Structure 1
């Protein structure tokens, strides 16, 4: 483990324990004592014998990574909060993610199924589209830099070797950057690389996810370089319909690789269990031919018989697009891809305005006009949103009032069942505008992806550690100004629904309302109805506060 002389950085970040360690440094769990939240802090390790010039180069690279990552906003890009120089070493302060890297997940378990790998691809392709739109090329997409959260969302991390379009990189050309198995051939030849290179690296990463090995397996890094430069990829054996797409992404000629639009289309189809339509006849990454829309995809397969089927939401979520040619500003077209349902969407600016084929909803029209701070500029006492007398309608054994949680939410635990209200994201939503809250709501919906297996516990309601799986977003009767729901089923023992959640937006506030019943006393529809009832109580209480009642 890494050894440090101090446990507090910048009189603010208290290091708690290491989360992971690699050749370049250690990632720590830390407490941000100023804002009262947990964060991840990346310690960049500098060898003791490093000469002053190289030390400055590493420090500058860390500061550069923070600056690059901070300017990118996308649900599948890790958020960098701060950078600190302490003891002449750089420390990057990032959002804390719960889960494991794609590399660790595959090595600890087994290769992933095709539909899950496709979902991962959709998320990372979206992150790359956002980066490329900002003129940033990642250059180190690999399994170790793709993080899978407990909710199933894929997040792209580590922009340490990224370059900005037009940036001079002569000072770094003496070093081989990235992992040889995941570096595009043109980069290994010493070329700068660009969007097509990131696409190749994504193809190699998804290949590893579904096959359990890189496309050019080799015993040593030198051997891997030779194979990438001179040999075709190993024919995939487990990839099924994903195989032809991966092989096209791994074409040695950048101009022969498919466009981002074509890859996005194919991945979205595979993510819902459909065979990919193929990428034949589609131009390369630099091709200017676009896609005006996407056909609606079929709903995902129904869950096993013991688990009730849950309808999918068809609200739009932005998916990746082909990056613009360097130096050219133009409107972007976004193909919308929801994991469990797909709608045709054309956006006129990156992640800002959605124009539905059926016309914008009333909520979206309001959001466009609501840029100023909303009604909830100071913290709300969340526990007062559901009085104990009302909570007992759902929790007959409830003994007292709600108990505040460390993220600003509240929980009402009782024997075998409980209610909770959470503030998704960082938990610090006060002072946002309705527009910002809408974006957070959309991000929450996008990151709610069906997962094969989770582990959760709630000791206060006598729920020990148990295996579970969560569903895709589902439509619910309207609550607040925007709402959707999802459910959590016990995965191994009974397959019964144990938790139901409804996420709502009221003005500038987004809240997640959950109802859990683990003693088997209520069936799935009753638990879903309970969550919806609690969400309605919360929305009504917030609207009353907003109206000054």
Structure 2
């Protein structure tokens, strides 16, 4: 097509007057028509009048009231993306030709791709067949290998950043969140939840991210390609964060022979994910229409330690329990003192990071009193929950709670149990709210195990069980500050078995856990049980504190 045909291709009606859009950037790139629009800007088809070729120009849209500092940071990020992408030459990585600052905004000049993103393709048509999704995976995995070999981690692999050309090539785009080895990333934590459905659990916990994190994101992206939805479907970004952090991926229904590989790539533990070489071989087999051998897990779980006595199981991560509580048939509940405001607990030793749909805010805790707290002596935890309340969680319960040797209390029936226990080195209180907060922080940062463990509880017919736990996770607000953690069955099923909430009220710190041992309840119901019990305890403590 002659270059003259590119000029003035778009008529616009502005205030009733027709005009031709002939914007030219840097005296060279003539903007033609938009290719796609998003919250952060527009990608334009443009004509490079110097070289006589089509290009794509990414316009970074800045809010008009953006302060000068943030504006400069955005300019720097655009330059950084161009510099990173320019280092990489690979057929499955989009080529960036130029970057321009004009009209008070950044513009990235990129290779013109003809086709649509994976997200658009699946949403506008239907999920891809397995062999085609595997072919996409081969290309993007190769692109990621090249990225990692250059000392970078992409950190934003998602369906919207995978482009499918009309020639069948899969291209990885948008290096705006990529990091180079040794680079400081603290100034970009706000991007953490841009696409939480496709961010690895460790990324959502505030960690930097590694090649294994990109592998998880690729697994989630290919899952979307064949299933038409992410592996942790959720209605809101916050709900997605919670589900990625606290639940195993939804079992795929359409993935066929690709399904087992995807579930391995989506393992919540980075070290348990298969190697790039193993995934590449499996994807190549599937892309060729052959049945791939499912690779074994990256590592074999360590032999289970000796069974934990019939006391409380070890703890990991809870999620905001926001759906109605279901009546459990095979459950056990635990509890201990400590409460928070949280959205997600990551980050600084004495700080809490709140993740919202559009921003991340690091908040220092309010000044806490050094004076003696409201609870000067140990609290009788057995009296906090009457049997009538506990029966809402454990319907067959008839007896009162039984005290334990460490100051907690336990309710049990066949297959079910509830326990309230002190949290943190067999202490449930500090002399002051400040000391209790320090105990809470120590529990959150140091005392919650992550990895393989064994537990048992003979009173509820839970024999020695192999499980894995995760670290601190978000819970809905309860008490003064709180976090949660979960315990999952071994990786054969990945079923959630126990959910815990650690909370603080004034100078008390408590652990609350709810357990279903027969598989009769799903993860959200188990987490709802733990959160419900923690709320009861926090309310009872606050009433006692107020003299009620």
TM-score by length of 1: 0.50
Structure 1 residue 88, shift from structure 2 partner: 1.5
Higher alpha-carbon Rg: 2
Give the Cα separation in 2 of the matches to 1:164 and 1:5.
39
Partner of 2:256: 240
Match status 1:185 vs 2:201: yes
Give the Cα separation in 2 of the matches to 1:258 and 1:276.
14
SS in 1 for 2:291: coil
Alignment of 1:249-398 (within 5 A): 249-280=265-296, 282=298
Distance 1:216 1:101, change over 3 A: same
Give the Cα separation in 2 of the matches to 1:179 and 1:234.
18
- Deviation sequence 1:211-241 (CA, Å, 0-9, x none): 0000000011110000000011110000011
Q: Contact conserved, 1:259 with 1:283, CA < 8 A, in 2?
A: no
Structure 1 residue 103, shift from structure 2 partner: 0.2
Alignment of 1:29-68 (within 5 A): 29-68=45-84
Give the Cα separation in 1 of the matches to 2:193 and 2:101.
24
SS in 1 for 2:183: coil
**Which of 193, 198, 222 is the equivalent residue of 1:206?**
222
Query: Aligned Cα RMSD in Å?
Result: 1.8
Q: Contact conserved, 2:220 with 2:231, CA < 8 A, in 1?
A: yes
Alignment of 1:137-176 (within 5 A): 137-176=153-192
Give the Cα separation in 2 of the matches to 1:283 and 1:78.
34
Give the Cα separation in 2 of the matches to 1:250 and 1:282.
12
Match status 1:104 vs 2:120: yes
Distance 1:102 1:125, change over 3 A: same
Structure 1 residue 176, shift from structure 2 partner: 2.5
Give the Cα separation in 2 of the matches to 1:178 and 1:6.
33
SS in 1 for 2:296: coil
Q: Contact conserved, 1:161 with 1:177, CA < 8 A, in 2?
A: no
Give the Cα separation in 2 of the matches to 1:226 and 1:130.
32
- Deviation sequence 1:387-423 (CA, Å, 0-9, x none): xxxxxxxxxxxxxxxxxxxxxxxxxxxxxxxxxxxxx
SS in 1 for 2:100: strand
Structure 1 residue 86, shift from structure 2 partner: 0.4
SS in 2 for 1:78: coil
Partner of 1:8: 24
Partner of 1:132: 148
Partner of 1:27: 43
Give the Cα separation in 2 of the matches to 1:65 and 1:250.
27
Q: For structure 2, list consecutive stretches of 5 or more residues without a partner in the other structure.
A: 1-11, 15-19, 301-548
Q: For structure 1, list consecutive stretches of 5 or more residues without a partner in the other structure.
A: 285-549
Partner of 2:135: 119
Distance 1:281 1:233, change over 3 A: closer
Partner of 1:222: 238
Give the Cα separation in 2 of the matches to 1:281 and 1:61.
37
Structure 1 residue 6, shift from structure 2 partner: 6.6
- Deviation sequence 1:418-472 (CA, Å, 0-9, x none): xxxxxxxxxxxxxxxxxxxxxxxxxxxxxxxxxxxxxxxxxxxxxxxxxxxxxxx
Q: Contact conserved, 1:83 with 1:90, CA < 8 A, in 2?
A: yes
Structure 1 residue 178, shift from structure 2 partner: 3.2
Structure 1 residue 87, shift from structure 2 partner: 1.1
Partner of 2:213: 197
Q: Contact conserved, 1:249 with 1:257, CA < 8 A, in 2?
A: yes
Structure 1 residue 282, shift from structure 2 partner: 4.5
Structure 1 residue 173, shift from structure 2 partner: 2.2
- Deviation sequence 1:230-286 (CA, Å, 0-9, x none): 0111100000110000000000000000000000000000001111111115559xx
SS in 2 for 1:139: coil
Partner of 2:307: none
User: Aligned pair count?
Assistant: 284
Partner of 1:90: 106
SS in 2 for 1:173: helix
SS in 2 for 1:186: helix
Give the Cα separation in 2 of the matches to 1:269 and 1:203.
16
Give the Cα separation in 2 of the matches to 1:207 and 1:174.
26
Q: Contact conserved, 2:264 with 2:297, CA < 8 A, in 1?
A: no
Runs of 4+ in 1 over 4 A off after TM superposition: 3-6, 281-284
Partner of 1:18: 34
**Which of 70, 90, 93 is the equivalent residue of 1:74?**
90
Structure 1 residue 165, shift from structure 2 partner: 1.0
Give the Cα separation in 1 of the matches to 2:95 and 2:153.
17
Match status 1:231 vs 2:247: yes
Give the Cα separation in 2 of the matches to 1:251 and 1:31.
45
Structure 1 residue 16, shift from structure 2 partner: 0.6
SS in 2 for 1:280: coil
Give the Cα separation in 1 of the matches to 2:193 and 2:240.
14
Structure 1 residue 151, shift from structure 2 partner: 0.7
Give the Cα separation in 1 of the matches to 2:285 and 2:194.
30
SS in 2 for 1:234: coil
Q: Contact conserved, 2:22 with 2:30, CA < 8 A, in 1?
A: no
Partner of 2:403: none
Structure 1 residue 174, shift from structure 2 partner: 4.0
